[in-house]
Structure 1
Amino acid sequence: MKRSLLSCLLTLLCAMAASGAQAADAPKATPKGDAARGQAVASTVCVACHGPDGNSPLAANPKLAGQHTEYLFKQMKNFKAADGKQPERVNAIMNGMIAAYDDGQMRDLAAYFATQTQKGEAARNRETIELGQKLYRGGDQAKGLPACAACHGPAGAGIPAQYPRIGGQFAEYTEAQLKGFREGSRANDPNKMMRMVAIKMTDAEIKAVSDYIAGLR
């Protein structure tokens, strides 16, 4: 009973936070990009790190195939410096790569990668699969740690314009991002949602849930 109540409350909090973020972004609503134009850029510029279709060949670089267009566009905007200020999301490679592109081109790229089919990964550590599943689906009530599924869905598909698709992502990449949120080196999450989650997680918990997420479909 307590777990059910906690899950409902966490889901409600996620929905409320999403509504707030969506309302804040409403004036900045962007039109859809052109996937064909995006492919032209992706196949010549993005291909080395993210693959021709957004299925990166390297675990250090995220899979972009099948990701929500709104999320992709937001991340590119966050990587791009503006008005002489430091980018909201700091990454030496991406900050330089995205600098030359305007909003229209970024929308085109987002549209292209969103239309591609993700080639998902797999959970590899049988010893931690139970812990990873527990954290993803139920969180940890004792620590006030919410279930990942409350915002990202049971299969990690996320919610367009609110929460990204994480299922099938490289475990190494997911682990690095969670640690980045925990340490504050990544801080572009609306209302500090991910930072508040990651700060409650140990290295072992982060590794376990990241491996579990890799196998979600």
Structure 2
Amino acid sequence: MRTMIWAAAMASALVVSPALAAEDQDKGDAEAGKELVMQGKPDEDVQPCQACHGEDGAGQAASNFPRLAGQDVKYMVKQMEDFASEDRANYPTMKGIAEGLSEEEKWDVARYYHEQEVDTEEADADSSVIETGERIAERGVPEEDVPACTSCHGPEGKGVPPVFPQIAGQHAGYIQKQLQDWEGGSRENDPADMMTEIAPKLSEEEMEAVGAYFNNVDAE
């Protein structure tokens, strides 16, 4: 029954009118976004995005700051909106930053990072860990009613915009942290509460394996 509810929620979430989709594709000014990424808004105490996510959107694996390069524009805008409204609260510093950006500026930043391309460093993990992650990604954990990650995030985790983000090439530690945050309740902004129900069914070892596997998938 729960799988049917999720399927219905996914179908509903992915229905976007052609006119709205076309409008979203044109939103955001990458040059204006670059200025915000590099300089922030000093007069309003909004720090530059590149301080955590890098000029090229590569993020920081050691600090669990995600890769944003190539991510869907509308998805990134939604995350900033959720940080501002506290619908997403697992990175407290993002609240003030997101609140300090206008709607137009959010689109500008998202457009800039969407257009960036970076190479990712593969996770340093044993082949057995990668294999476990691939199994969960492709087949889920049926005995725990955990669906395949790719059933929402698309083939190889390359995303199903605008609802389900690209996780291919994302930092392993960041993916693991999100799963832990969903499990612990500090992140709750997922469609139909899917991840808040899935994450607690995964062991720490399985979370680590999923992160390592997707980190090692080419995002292109």
- Give TM-score scaled by structure 2 length: 0.84
Cα gap change, 1:142 to 1:68, in 2 (>3 Å): same
Corresponding pairs, count: 202
Matches of residues 53-202 of structure 1 in structure 2 within 5 Å?
53-59=56-62, 60-81=64-85, 87-90=86-89, 91-126=91-126, 127-202=128-203
CA distance in 1, matches of 2:16, 2:83: 20
When structure 1 is superposed on structure 2, of 185-194 and 114-123 the one drifting more is 114-123
1:118: Cα distance to partner? 3.3
Runs of 4+ residues over 6 Å off in structure 1? none
CA distance in 2, matches of 1:36, 1:42: 10
> Residue 61 of structure 2 contacts residue 173 of structure 2 at CA under 8 Å; is this kept in 1?
no
Aligned to 1:6: none
CA distance in 1, matches of 2:185, 2:17: 23
Question: How much identity, in percent, do the aligned residues show?
Answer: 36
Paired letter, 2:28: G
> Residue 131 of structure 1 contacts residue 205 of structure 1 at CA under 8 Å; is this kept in 2?
yes
Gaps of 5+ in 2: 40-47
Paired letter, 2:60: P
> Residue 49 of structure 1 contacts residue 58 of structure 1 at CA under 8 Å; is this kept in 2?
no
Aligned to 2:215: 214
CA distance in 1, matches of 2:120, 2:32: 25
- Give TM-score scaled by structure 1 length: 0.85
Matched, 1:21 2:24: no
CA distance in 2, matches of 1:58, 1:148: 21
Aligned to 1:42: 37
Deviations for 1:149-188, whole angstroms, at most 9, x for unmatched residues? 1111222111111210001111111100001011111000
CA distance in 1, matches of 2:9, 2:212: 26
Give the secondary-structure state (helix, strand or coil) at the position aligned to 1:155. Answer: helix
